Amino acid sequence: MDTNLNIGDIVARKSYNNDVFFKIVEMVKTDSGQVKARLRGLDVRLLADSPLEDLTKVEGEHIREYRKKFIRQNNDSLKKIFSRRAKDQGLKLLRLEDKFQGDFFEMPGRVLHIDGNLEYLNLCIEIYEQLGIKSKGIHIPENEQPASVPELLKENSPDILVLTGHDGIIKSTDRYSDIENYHNSKYFVEAVRAARRIECNRDNLIIFAGACQSHYEAILSAGANYGSSPMRVFIHAFDPVFIVEKIAFTPISQIISINEVIDSTITGIDGLGGIETRGKYRKGFPKSPY
C-alpha cells in the first residue's frame, strides 16, 4: 500500500492490471473505518471507488506516454471526421449547383454541452471549435443536472443537448438493470426526462446522455436519441463530441446512419448506441457579403 497517496495524484488499480489511469478526487471513510479513494478517469468518463491498497501511484514518463496515446486517439478520430466531411462536401456541392446560383451559407446544429467534469468540458469546447460547431459549455455536477436543464434549454434553445460527466457501476454484480447500482445514471435519466418535458420531439431536440458504463436502456427510454453504454464498457472523454459532429453536419432531410455515428467515435458500438434521428445541418442562400 502506498501511504503517500493524496488528492490530485494520478493512480492505477492493481486489480485491473493498471489498465486505466485515474486522478484521486476525494478520500472517503467507510462505515467500517476503511479509507477509499474516489477516482475519475484521465481519458475515460469513469467514476470509481477503490481501497488505497489497490492503488499504485503513476508518475513521470508513464503519464506522458498515456497522454500521448490519448492525443493520438483524438487526432485519428479528427482525421477520419475531416476526411469524411471533405467527401460529403464534394457531393453536396454537386447537388447545390442545381439549386443555388451563387454563394450559400451553412448552419450546422448548435450544441449545449453540460458536463460534470470541467477539464473534459474545456477540451470538448476546443474540439467543437476545431470542427466548426457553435457550442456553449456549462460545468454542472451530474446530480445537479436534472434541476438545471429546463432553464438552460429555455435560455439557449440548442439543436443538440449533451448530458455527460462520469459514471460507473457501483458493485461488480449482475444487477445491470438496477439503476441504483450506478453512480450517476439516475441523474442522466432524470435530466433527459426534464429536457423532454420542455421539448418532447426527438428530432427537434437531439439528446446524447451518459458516460462510462451508464444504464443505456434507461437513458434511451427516458427520451435520449443516443447514449452509453450498451455493453457497460468505458467510453472515451471525447466520444460525445464525435457523435454530435455527425448529427450537426447531417442534413435535416436525412436520417442519420447509426453505424456512421458510432463509427465516428473512439469507443465504438460496445460503448455507444442510439435510435434513428434526423440531422441538424441546414443550408442558406444567399450569403451576405457583410
Residue 2, in any domain of the structure:
no
170 and 246 co-located in one domain: yes
pLDDT at 1: 45
Residue 186, in any domain of the structure:
yes
Cα 58 to Cα 22, 63, 120, 228, 288, distances in angstroms: 9, 7, 20, 28, 54
CB 259 within 8 A of CB 284: no
54 and 81 co-located in one domain: no
Number of domains present in the structure of the chain: 2
Residue 64, in any domain of the structure:
no
3-state secondary structure of 10: strand
What cell does 18 get? 493498471
Each residue's pLDDT tens digit, 231-241: 999 999 999 99
Residue 69, in any domain of the structure:
no
105 and 28 co-located in one domain: no
38 and 122 co-located in one domain: no
43 and 85 co-located in one domain: no
Q: In what order do the strands lie in the sheet containing 135-139?
A: 135-139, 111-115, 160-164, 206-209, 226-227, 273-274
Each residue's pLDDT tens digit, 204-248: 999 999 999 999 999 999 999 999 999 999 999 999 999 999 999
51 and 136 co-located in one domain: no
pLDDT at 251: 92
Cα torsion 94, 98, 99, 100: sign: positive
> CA-based Rg of the chain, rounded to a whole angstrom?
20
Provide the domain limits for residue 213. 75-284
pLDDT at 102: 59
187 and 254 co-located in one domain: yes
pLDDT at 90: 58
44 and 151 co-located in one domain: no
Spans of the chain, pLDDT less than 70: 1-3, 88-102, 172
Q: Which residues fall within 8 angstroms of residue 195, CB to CB, at 6 or more apart?
A: 149, 150, 153, 161, 163, 205, 207, 223
251 and 217 co-located in one domain: yes
111 and 149 co-located in one domain: yes
